[in-house]
Amino acid sequence: MESAQALVIGGGIAGLLCANMLKDRFSKVTVLERSNYAQPSDSTPATRPEVPQSHCLHMLMGAGTLAFDELVPGWRVELIAREAVPYDVGSDVAMRVTSGWLPRVETGITLYGASRGLIEAALLSVLREADNVRIQTGQRVIGLEVSQDGARVCGVRLQSTTGGSHVLANADVVVDASGTASRLPRWLATIYGEQHQIARTEVAPGRQYVSRWVRLAPDQDPGWQGLSLAPTLESGGRAGMMMRAEKDLWGVVLQTPENVPLPTDDKAFLASAAALPDRSLYDVLARAMPVTPLHLFGRTANRRRHYEDYPFWPGNLFAIGDSACALDPYAGLGMTAAARGVQLLQRYLDHSVRTEASFQSQLAKHNQWPWMIATGDWTHGASNPGMADQIDSLTRAAPFDPELAILLLELQHMLRAPETLTNEAVA
């Protein structure tokens, strides 16, 4: 692949991780991003209107951090240089699961408190050091260009935000990383016919979210770097989270069931915090200073596009990240799943995975684990029929046993496979 060129559609988390991986394998890598990256400011996190979730606190789970390390060596240094705050997920985070508070125990799992804009900025800064990478912003991909026999994708059609469209050709590999609103199914239908639609699976947990950034009053010390309150029956399914990030900013997110209206003003936001399973988040928010407006995220869903079943899939096209599999934000696994997918693509391109299965069908299998966590469905596709009961027992017992608390956190952070749980360990 020495003189080959790769195109990446979308410069979000999946696209930036992927471009970092591809730069060592292709002589030229071009990232096509429809928006412009926002300049960081001291007062609020950098956000992009085209990426609505950039307003919301993003937690990178333990397995995601390890995958980022492999794909983008040096990214943590960039993150810390931009004032991300590292903290231990057990000793520094007050976490209430459905059965009670977890003991504040050292786990060795580090969370990097950072806004999503800061994570993107760290990935971008490493990428910009590579002289074979071009990041073209203000470029919206509007279709694919295929070879005459339709067997290969050889380029993309672009529309510049300043007007006009043109074709970028001679691509050896095209990666779609354009997120949950990806138009890839439409582009494929335009080329290969409307009669073959991409199958989808959707599991909507009936949750919605509201988020904002705040600063604490100078004399406020909550005694934790992060707080997480899981939903309970008594709280009517409400949950909440607050995490410290860069520049003394704290991200807050409240979850309500979809039949409960989301708060749209400060008073209703506080009232919603007061209705959580515990008053601790309300107590902190009541004195904190809001620095951003409220951002609402209506009905979210877990959604897979079954590209692996599409009969005309061209060999040099790859779909990764939310384009292929988007997860409900509650489990905080979207970036982790995206990074694991890019690791899989790396192994696929390097032929270290020797199998006849296409990349998309390998990815579908690879995503089964985060999918089970995000949907809470431990029965479909589980290797062990007792897994759901084991996880339930573990969650009930974890508040009373530091070792089980660590086990539960390792599971949530995808650092321990659920298959490794034994009945003895969680009885």
Ligand X SMILES: Cc1cc2nc3c(=O)[nH]c(=O)nc-3n(C[C@H](O)[C@H](O)[C@H](O)COP(=O)(O)OP(=O)(O)OC[C@H]3O[C@@H](n4cnc5c(N)ncnc54)[C@H](O)[C@@H]3O)c2cc1C
Task: Give the residues lining the site for ligand X (CB under 6 A).
Answer: 9-15, 32-35, 50-51, 53, 56, 58-60, 140-141, 177-179, 183, 209, 297, 321-323, 329, 332-336, 338
By beta-carbon proximity to ligand X, the closer residue of 253 and 426 is 253
Bridge partners for 241 per DSSP? 228, 253
By beta-carbon proximity to ligand X, the closer residue of 277 and 321 is 321
What is the nearest approach in angstroms of ligand X to the Cβ of residue 180? 6
Interior angle at CA 109, CA 408 and CA 253, nearest 5: 75
By beta-carbon proximity to ligand X, the closer residue of 113 and 332 is 332
Residue with tokens 């979000």: 12
Cβ distance 341 to 14 under 8 Å? yes
What is the nearest approach in angstroms of ligand X to the Cβ of residue 341? 9
What is the nearest approach in angstroms of ligand X to the Cβ of residue 58? 4
By beta-carbon proximity to ligand X, the closer residue of 160 and 422 is 160
By beta-carbon proximity to ligand X, the closer residue of 92 and 390 is 92
Q: How far apart are CA 416 and CA 407, in angstroms?
A: 8
Q: How far apart are CA 63 and CA 69, in angstroms?
A: 10
What is the nearest approach in angstroms of ligand X to the Cβ of residue 63? 10
By beta-carbon proximity to ligand X, the closer residue of 252 and 404 is 252
CA distances from 65 to 209, 275, 335 (A): 24, 33, 9
By beta-carbon proximity to ligand X, the closer residue of 46 and 388 is 46
What is the nearest approach in angstroms of ligand X to the Cβ of residue 181? 6
By beta-carbon proximity to ligand X, the closer residue of 5 and 336 is 336
Q: How far apart are the first and last CA of the chain?
A: 52
Hey, what are 1's tokens?
A: 């692949």
Hey, what are 105's tokens?
A: 């125990």
What is the nearest approach in angstroms of ligand X to the Cβ of residue 397? 26
Pairing of β 85-88 and β 110-113: antiparallel
Find the largest Cα–Cα distance for the chain. Answer: 68
Q: The dihedral of CA 30, 31, 35, 40: what is its sign?
A: negative
What is the nearest approach in angstroms of ligand X to the Cβ of residue 403? 26
Cβ distance 213 to 44 under 8 Å? yes
What is the nearest approach in angstroms of ligand X to the Cβ of residue 15? 6
What is the nearest approach in angstroms of ligand X to the Cβ of residue 131? 23
By beta-carbon proximity to ligand X, the closer residue of 180 and 280 is 180
**Nearest C-alpha neighbor of 238 from the set 225, 253, 250:** 253
What is the nearest approach in angstroms of ligand X to the Cβ of residue 400? 28
Q: How far apart are CA 1 and CA 316, in angstroms?
A: 12
By beta-carbon proximity to ligand X, the closer residue of 92 and 322 is 322
Q: How far apart are CA 291 and CA 317, in angstroms?
A: 42
Hey, what are 103's tokens?
A: 């003991």
What is the nearest approach in angstroms of ligand X to the Cβ of residue 338? 4
By beta-carbon proximity to ligand X, the closer residue of 168 and 426 is 168
Compute and round to an integer the Cα radius of gyration of the chain: 22
Cβ distance 223 to 242 under 8 Å? no
Cβ distance 404 to 427 under 8 Å? no
Measured from the Cβ of residue 312, the count of other Cβ atoms closer than 10 Å reads 12
Interior angle at CA 211, CA 207 and CA 214, nearest 5: 155
Q: How far apart are CA 374 and CA 368, in angstroms?
A: 10
**Nearest C-alpha neighbor of 285 from the set 239, 351, 241, 238:** 241
